[in-house]
Structure 1
Amino acid sequence: MNTPTGKLDNCQGGTIRRVGIAQALLKHPEIMIVDEPTAGLDPQERIRFRKLLRQVGQDSIVIISTHIVEDIEAICDHAAILHQGTLKTVGPIDEIRHKASGNVWELKIPHHEFYRVSEQWNVISHQREQEHYRLHILSETKPEGAEPITPTLEDSYLYLMEKQKHA
């Protein structure tokens, strides 16, 4: 990294991104725009980079373009959701999450029922556990045996995209 020419030839992606942020901060910007800031980083580096961007956001406006919705949830207080160049919603993260309230359900099912249930319902995430699958389902009607859950930002994004599809 400390070469006479100042090149970062042997640095990993996270280090190069941090150097890029440091270069930008030298000019004390009011606004900083970052594109896909954590793409390709390992989990530890993603966490460090999220913290760095959150810290930068205390003194500057940080605009992040990313497909990794959980990064937005970890870094930002406000978000805008764009789809195919159209603004779908903008506001505080909690308000955007609330848009999907009452439409995201958790259902625990035996392993052997996974494919049947996933064909019947819009399963937006699943987690395999020892005895069962824990499914998150996006639906305006309650699946039998399901419980409502607090939507994540990603759940709300998927809800807004689904609503648009049927509009």
Structure 2
Amino acid sequence: MFLIHDLASHGDWAELKSAVSTFPQTAKVPHPDTKDLPLHLALNHSSPAACPPAVISAVIEAYPEAVNAPSGVTNEYPLSTYLRTHEDIDLAVLKSLATDVSAKGVSTLGETPLLQAISKKTIHTDDLTYIVSLYPGACSVPDEMDQLPLHEAVEVGLPAEFIKFIHDQYPEALTMENRDGDLISL
């Protein structure tokens, strides 16, 4: 393994940021065994040891194409990994990870980034709206338990204006049962 992978794997954030700032080409080097990029390895740390926004930004700045590269281990895009592992979502980081490609990816649990974000409950509607703008079709994609984004948004109690926004993207969701076999009523 290369030093850059050790830094990302072990959460040595200051050293990782310094390394990719000094030697940006290191951000392009896949792990020899897993083929994960340093960005994948850094994002895999969960809260409270999660990779800080400034470090994520430095790694992306060194190799912007990494946001469209799926992990060699999980096949998950960095956006999904970020949503899965980070409790507090930073809008600037979310926007740097969210692309037309990554917004269509799925998590290791079979969820689109939109469903992942909605299920966080604490995410701001601006973040959700941004994800939908990249992939409006996500409003019609259920998770592995047939839960649609509208069902999830109602279930977690998101604001009415966002629920209306999701509904307007895919109104047919009102005629579909949620995972409990119930129809959603607005």
Query: Normalising to structure 1: TM-score of the pair?
Result: 0.39
Query: Normalising to structure 2: TM-score of the pair?
Result: 0.36
More helix by percentage? 2
Structure label with greater radius of gyration: 1
